Amino acid sequence: MLPVSQAQTVIEVPAGWRGFAMGFMQNVGSNFLGTSVAAVVLVSVGASFGWRNAFFIAAVPAFISALSIWWLVREPHKVKAAAGIPAERLTLGQAFAQRNIVLCVLISILLVSYLVVCFVLMPLFLTQVRAYEPDVWLWLIATLGVSAALADFIVPGISDWVGRKPLMLLTPLFGIILPLGALYFEGSWWALAGIFFLGWTVIGTFPLFMATIPSETVDPRHTATALGLIMGIGEGVGGAPAPAIAGGAANRYGLEASLWIMVALTLCAAAPALGLRETAPRPLARGGKPHQETDQ
């Protein structure tokens, strides 16, 4: 659903505000409601009424979303072909001929792995190693949702003005803060929540490498295909095996190993950003370069 939603956002939103809009659409609702509010509500429901009932309740938003789409979403206008770009479907060869697409795929694999390892193993680390009670660690995890909900439109919004590439270079480095804080910070859990909040701003890059940069790289008619490719490979190659790999390392070397894997993943994610071609319209215009939807 997300590639189609982002493709529609590309069509509907002016290019100068594309980063902000795509970041807001992609993760504000899912992070604020899905991570922060749901973490608190569903744990409480599960504790009070049983986890089986909590799973049923968790399905309700999906039906609300489906009805809302049927009622409110209209088909976008047809997108005109970019000058000189053929109308054929986007093939894998054509997609991977684009440097930005290849680099965004690599970043997606690394940072999706970072996200999934954190969600799967961080609660275990906070419970078994740091000995936090559930009513404490669930608030620490909920802090991640608030952080992402803000970062996911602030980081892309800033990139509309200063460029995509500088944010893709800098923001992944913030991801180091979270696992190191969980490993070594000995202060109050409120202060640790602040560390979690700051470290999780790395998620603000997700709309950029998953949606905004690729949408500004390929022909507009191929946006959904390009976005689906990046998201699909990131989830399949990164998100699917990462918990098993990190979990195996945790079984062998202790849960601390999974947090060091998170450190390595976010450090490695900053490296491919060095090769990205800038795509943001405003910075390109200031540099005297006309904005193009494709780097062909």
- Residue-wise pLDDT for 132-157, tens only, equals 987 788 888 888 888 988 888 899 99
Q: Is 13 part of a structural domain of the chain?
A: yes
Q: How far apart are alpha carbons 108 and 22 in whole angstroms?
A: 16
Smallest Cα–Cα separation from 27: which of 196, 169, 205?
205
Q: Is 291 part of a structural domain of the chain?
A: no
Q: In total, how many domains does the chain have?
A: 1
> Is-above-0.75 flag for pTM?
yes
Tens digit of each residue's pLDDT (9 = 90 or more) over 101-113: 999 999 999 999 9
Burial class (CB in 10 A: 0-12, 13-18, 19+), 270: buried
Model pLDDT, residue 290: 55
What's the sign of the alpha-carbon dihedral 136, 138, 141, 146?
negative
pLDDT tier for residue 294 given thresholds of 50, 70 and 90: very low
What residue numbers bound the domain in which 276 lies?
Answer: 2-76+93-286
CATH number of the domain within which 235 lies: 1.20.1250.20
CA distances from 264 to 45, 127, 166, 245 (A): 36, 23, 20, 13
Q: Is 87 part of a structural domain of the chain?
A: no
Residue reference for tokens 């072909």: 81
Q: Is 84 part of a structural domain of the chain?
A: no
Q: Is 190 part of a structural domain of the chain?
A: yes
Q: How far apart are alpha carbons 112 and 70 in whole angstroms?
A: 30
